[in-house]
Structure 1
């Protein structure tokens, strides 16, 4: 028996959607993958248009870093709030409202806004996108039982990487052939189109909190405070924090690092970022397949999820630490793929671990609060890197990557030593 079956989440529910419900489940997952594609295209656009924006608006590296960090000013707060609301309001409507706000927030820059508009639009976008990942996962996981969640969760996370794969070359082409303001218009229109489609096909599945679950699940009355105090929640949050630090650097500074430190053209840098995101996608799907296979064969999620993820983070740490000392572009590119291309598997591992740990009626809040803590990395990393670049030139990039390697090592250690969902779920039920 796996540890994931020790306390059934909702025993009377079917193991997997069947027939029309199953087709609906995967339609919803497909829409949520597209949702995350748009989400990360919205985030990535500022990094992809960094040089022309800095030139046109007269921004230093530190000021540009602050503009990116402005995105995260309300991101974490609204991420926590959105997660808690997802336990009370149907995620279908939360997701619809978010995307409408995304499109609205991109409009000022498309219509000629300056520095003040840039900061305001990024703050609004961050607030609207803060709950995106946990609420999308909440909606998707509601269609699947625990042992079947790895693939849909991974696919939604892959949507994040696909957002960069698609956005990097596409938006770079728009910038080169039209303008950076046209690129902002493109992401605004795409968001509006998705919202229209979701209004017709969005929804939630049956693996959510239900009256029957309250009597069969001894953890159903557990409050958020006890969940957040478990070693598993703390450990997986620390591990995911180190991963999100990498995500923030990738979105904001990786194009400039490839262009200014390694000497690639802007077009080549965009293609390399797309390649890195493709590696992320393969790693995510590979982890989902491996973890699901292990869980179905009775391996505890402590090993199948947390320790698999911990090993990956340590490997990524080695890649970043070596990259910090690399000087030649070919070797640096290989180490970049090793350091930045694998660690995003922790996003899926973190979500499915918390979903396993928390009772269904507290799942959205537990995910949202984890996301709120994790995404503070996005508030810190861009500004700190901008300061290092201003102070030390291209050597500042190397210093930022060295720090990233240390954080990944700490995150991998936390995942490997602290996380055991079965143990902590048992303690919550006591």
Structure 2
């Protein structure tokens, strides 16, 4: 068998990508189940929209603030150890949410989940950077990122049915158990490229020649010492600020769908709770199509010899522009048109969601985890601020100002990638 693995080209990177995809689905299930439970929690505990906004936002307080430390941890701790450790902890807290009964306890649980999930996306990006050559990387990022959309598209109705059968407390308990089981599966099956017993020499060479950092990751974790100068450098470059600001704007639309969207449909648009679950899945499916179209088209253009400025930036710029369509929902009471405008906006959000590829392409080689942490930190600020702002803007039951706010940020994100990012080229540090 060992002879065969050295002579036959394997494709184990796709198995790894499947693991990451399912992990993202689990990750976002535990982020979004609170939005499904929101109406029931509000009713049972007597919470206001502003208080519910605080609960939605609490996850991002810790998630965002720990992105930079999380990115540093990712540069040192092997994903096989780090990921299941994180998953077990956040899944236990998810389960505990089913037993609490106060505003403070719910906020505390959401803060804890955010803390334990903080290194997850820098870890995803690190894994893809090590397992995939550059010409396949946008597609790989699109596939695992699509997990947050396709997972929520199909899981939202399922989560609503679970809550209908077991109550909101049962919803959290079931979610937590699923996460713990998946953490054990991850530990059993994940390996780094140069530690994977079934990956062929040909596949490793293909990844390395294409820019995959298989060897670098092992060296980094075992030999490289953290330098505080690296943290300053991560905030120095204009092109990095372009993607940081763009990620904040991108995240603001996404967090609306992750938190307030079911409430918007049920309380503001007056839809039935069960029906709203199926209608809510339509924008997530649109976003799923958008992110896959973006990733595979982007890599196709790279293979055809087009510049990164066109192949990588164009989908994001077009996607940010399409996200402005969310404002159209303010000008109609027709349910079909409302879902159309929201789906078009979320399709644009999906189209723009390959932004992680810019961390792989722009960040200095020794700082991929750190830059990914800063990138996700600033993106996470959207998740910290936007739910509270929407709760305040919609405190009287009118969501129109909130949708205008989201549309304005989409325009800012469009301008950020158009004018700030500049030439797509890795930053080389002068030692």
What TM-score bracket applies, with the shorter chain setting the length?
A: 0.7 to 0.9
Please say if residues 355 and 363 of structure 1, whose CA atoms lie closer than 8 Å, have aligned partners that are also in contact.
yes
2:304 matches 1:297? yes
Q: Of the candidates 277, 295, 299, which is equivalent to residue 284 of structure 2?
A: 277
2:257 matches 1:250? yes
Call closer, same or farther: CA 1:204–1:196 in 2, change over 3 Å: same
In the other structure, the counterpart of 1:263 is 270
In the other structure, the counterpart of 1:388 is 393
Aligned pairs for 1:321-400 (under 5 A) are 321-348=327-354, 350-390=355-395, 392-393=396-397, 395=398, 397-400=399-402
2:151 matches 1:146? no
Deviations 1:342-372 (A, max 9, x none): 2133332x21111111233211111111000
Call closer, same or farther: CA 1:382–1:22 in 2, change over 3 Å: farther
TM-score, length-scaled by structure 2? 0.88
In the other structure, the counterpart of 1:33 is 21
Number of corresponding residues: 402
* 1:89 aligned counterpart, secondary structure: coil
How far, CA to CA, are the matches of 2:380 and 2:8 in structure 1? 37
Please report how far the alpha carbon of residue 330 of structure 1 lies from its aligned counterpart in structure 2 after TM superposition: 2.1
Deviations 1:195-252 (A, max 9, x none): 11011111223533746999xxxxxx99343343222211112112111101111111
Aligned pairs for 1:31-430 (under 5 A) are 31-205=19-193, 207-208=212-213, 210=215, 223-317=230-324, 319-348=325-354, 350-390=355-395, 392-393=396-397, 395=398, 397-423=399-425, 425=427, 428=429
How far, CA to CA, are the matches of 1:119 and 1:20 in structure 2? 52
* 1:73 aligned counterpart, secondary structure: helix
Please say if residues 130 and 217 of structure 2, whose CA atoms lie closer than 8 Å, have aligned partners that are also in contact.
no
Please report how far the alpha carbon of residue 419 of structure 1 lies from its aligned counterpart in structure 2 after TM superposition: 1.8
How far, CA to CA, are the matches of 2:117 and 2:10 in structure 1? 28
Call closer, same or farther: CA 1:128–1:212 in 2, change over 3 Å: closer
Call closer, same or farther: CA 1:384–1:277 in 2, change over 3 Å: same
* Structure 2: runs of 5 or more not aligned: 195-211, 220-226
Please report how far the alpha carbon of residue 312 of structure 1 lies from its aligned counterpart in structure 2 after TM superposition: 1.6
* Structure 1: runs of 5 or more not aligned: 1-16, 215-220
* 2:60 aligned counterpart, secondary structure: coil
Provide the alpha-carbon RMSD of the alignment: 2.3
Call closer, same or farther: CA 1:223–1:209 in 2, change over 3 Å: farther
Please say if residues 236 and 306 of structure 1, whose CA atoms lie closer than 8 Å, have aligned partners that are also in contact.
no
